[in-house]
Amino acid sequence: MLGKKVFLTGFFLGLFVADVVSGANTNLNAAINFSGIKSPIVLRGDSRTAYRDPAGLYHAGTFYLFYTLVRTQADGRIYSYTAVSTSRDLQDFSTPRIITPKGQHLNFSSPGNVVRFADVWVLCLQSYPRLNYRRGEKLRWANENARLFIMRSKNLLHWSEPELLRVKGPDAAVEQMGRMIDPYLIEDKNEPGKWWCFYKQHGVSLSWSYDLENWTYFGRADSGENVCVLVDGDEYVLFHSPGNGIGVKRSKDLKQWRDVNGLITLGQQQWPWAENRITAGVVLDLRKEPRIGKYLMFFHGGGPGKKKTQDNVDANCSLGIAWSDDLKNWSWPGKAPVPQGAAADAKNWRR
């Protein structure tokens, strides 16, 4: 009798698992229901948690959202990590999974993006040392030892130890490289196999490499932080974060950049959770993906308060979502319709 019960239990369990898998496959093929996304907040911070600096990837029907996770411990010490959450519908994201080691001398964070290189996934990120940093102190930024790194993975689950990016060249002493944060990798639009690394140093700086190990410094341009770069036709489109909002620049040659489209602030005027700042916008070009067909933006907002404090930098930061068909007009959950005959979207929703 026991054997019969075990058999029946296993049989029905198998039916249940098969049903779940079948349903998952069906959902994988379903178009994303943007109108079904009820909140612009993807991951909400609180008094001990901040979600910052998102990086996105869409692969095999799954959205991978990497980000800085800032946590305040019970003893008041503040640590930063790189973590990841996943979703298939942009409505429900998985519990944060930390992928970097712990240490205030490390604070690996600000993932820029994930690219495919030499048959593995490569994630770029920064270190952000803030030694002996605690809750209740004056707000403090990373020291001069902040540097750039990459991590590698074969499956987007298990990641290698961070590897230093010597973006000033193999002969540059590490201690002489200077403070640098917010890396972003992109392949050259005209020369396949040539990779560019954008990073915050003296505005935005650029270096190039063919193997992600041997780098040549290229130059700099005026820009804010948290750079994200796409290719649109014969131009590079650069998104960056000045004091507040997300700016846009374009260039054909990575040397001469022009500002376009004004400053993107989305629904900030109606969002107390982003009162301090809208920033760190990362844009994915998913127009050719049948389920999506749009540009997708993730960003972070900090609040409350107009002045930067620990309460809106190291806590109470949330990740948000928006989307666009043309990189000019942006939509988000809860956006009020623009009245017929009103001025352009930028006038109504940006400042």
Tell me what percent of the residues of the chain surpass a pLDDT of 90. Answer: 86
**What would the mean pLDDT of 212-219 be, rounded to a whole number?**
98
Whole-number Cα distances in Å, 27 to 9, 14, 37, 110, 292: 27, 20, 15, 31, 13
pLDDT for position 183: 98
**Dist CA 349 CA 174 (whole Å):** 44
**Dist CA 154 CA 76 (whole Å):** 36
pLDDT for position 338: 55
What is the per-residue pLDDT across 124-143, written as a single tens digit (0 to 9) for each? Answer: 999 999 999 999 999 999 99
Residue recorded with tokens 């249940």: 16
Domain 41-333+342-349 has CATH 3.40.50.720: no
Q: How big is the chain, counted in residues?
A: 351
Identify the band that residue 311 occupies on the pLDDT scale cut at 50, 70 and 90. very high
CB 40 within 8 A of CB 334: yes
Domain boundaries, the chain: 41-333+342-349
pTM of the model as a whole: 0.89
Q: Does residue 23 have a pLDDT over 60? A: no
Q: What's the N-to-C CA distance of the chain in angstroms?
A: 73
What tokens does 107 get? 């604070």
Whole-number Cα distances in Å, 269 to 265, 274, 324: 8, 9, 19
pLDDT for position 29: 81
Identify the band that residue 261 occupies on the pLDDT scale cut at 50, 70 and 90. confident
pLDDT for position 260: 95
Residue burial 171-200, b: 16+ Cβ < 10 Å; e: rest:
eeeeeebeebbbbbbbeebeeeeebbbbbb
**Dist CA 206 CA 197 (whole Å):** 6
Average model confidence (pLDDT) across the chain = 90
**What would the mean pLDDT of 118-122 be, rounded to a whole number?**
98
CB 297 within 8 A of CB 291: no
What tokens does 56 get? 């996105």
Q: Does residue 233 have a pLDDT over 60? A: yes
